[in-house]
Homo-oligomer: A and B are copies of this chain.
Amino acid sequence: MNIIQTIQRPSLHAELVERLRSLVIEDELKPGEKVPEKALCEAFGVSRTPLREALKVLASEGLIVLQANRGARVSEITIGELDKTFPIIAALEQLAGELACEKLSDAGIANVEKRHKEMVAAYRNNDRHAYFQANQAIHNAIIAGAGNDILETHHRLLASRVRRARFMVNLSDERWAEAIAEHEQMIALLKARNAQGLGALLRTHMLNKHAAHRKALACEAAS
């Protein structure tokens, strides 16, 4: 009787955590905005209990902040927060890169390379959205390739806080080109199974991304 899979109907609160997280990450709920408890309950067709349970989880992840007796607000993403978060993501990606070099199968590497080609194509077509998607997919594939779900979880938590920043910045063309070049190198190092090299590159790649974001934000603040 191992054929039949166990039926799993996810609990309401787990479902709500996912849905709400998406709302925040996809910028449907904007930073600083109050989380409309009642409206969300009606929208999702659930009572307040599971929704509030979900809010507590999101708060522990740092995506929202709870104010005593004043409900929840979507966390503001400040430059200071970016400065704290990017280096951590960089450190985790370094580790992921080292592990992925050892653990990723040849098929897995081929998959990364395929994504990379999609990304380059998107770059050539000036399609920022597709570029972003492919870029995301590559990083996720490497993280997943590390075969460490705890690492993956923490990376996802941190990345989700920073991802919203993409709504705020427009990266320069130079940085875009530079990023492509770094990705080219990544593929090469991955194919060569150069763990230390890939780890180091992923770290600097992320720190470069951080610098680019900082610069873009400073420009926008000035204008």
Residues of chain B within 8 A (CB-CB) of A151 are 84, 87-88
The stretch of A49-57, A179-187, A189-197, A213-221 in contact with B is A49-57
**Interface: A76 (CB within 8 A):** no
1/0 contact trace for A148-171 toward B, CB 8 Å?
111101100110000000000000
Stretch from A8-16, A37-45, A104-112 contacting the other chain: A8-16
Q: Are B85 and A150 in contact (CB under 8 A)?
A: yes
Asked whether B11 lies within 8 Å of A68 as measured between CB atoms, the reply is: yes
Of B61, B68, B84, B94, which contacts A149 at CB under 8 A?
B84
Main SS class of interface, A = helix
Which residues of the partner chain B approach A31 to less than 8 Å between Cβ atoms? none
In the complex, what residues of B have CB within 8 A of residue A33's CB? none
Residues of chain A at interface, number, CB under 8 A: 35
What chain B residues lie within 8 Å of A56 (beta carbons)?
13, 53-54, 56-57
- What's the Cα separation between A117 and B13 when bound, in Å? 48
Q: Which of A87-107 contact B (CB under 8 A)?
A: 87-88, 91-92, 94-95, 99
Taking the complex as formed, is A136 at the interface, i.e. its CB lies under 8 A from any CB of chain B?
A: no
Q: Which of A1-48 contact B (CB under 8 A)?
A: 8-11, 13, 17
Q: When chains A and B are docked, how far (Å) is the Cα of A9 from the Cα of B68?
A: 8
A81 at the B interface (CB under 8 A): yes
Q: How far is the CA of A57 from the CA of B63 in the complex (A)?
A: 13
Interface residues of A (CB under 8 A from B): 8-11, 13, 17, 49, 52-54, 56-57, 60-62, 66, 68, 81, 84-85, 87-88, 91-92, 94-95, 99, 148-151, 153-154, 157-158
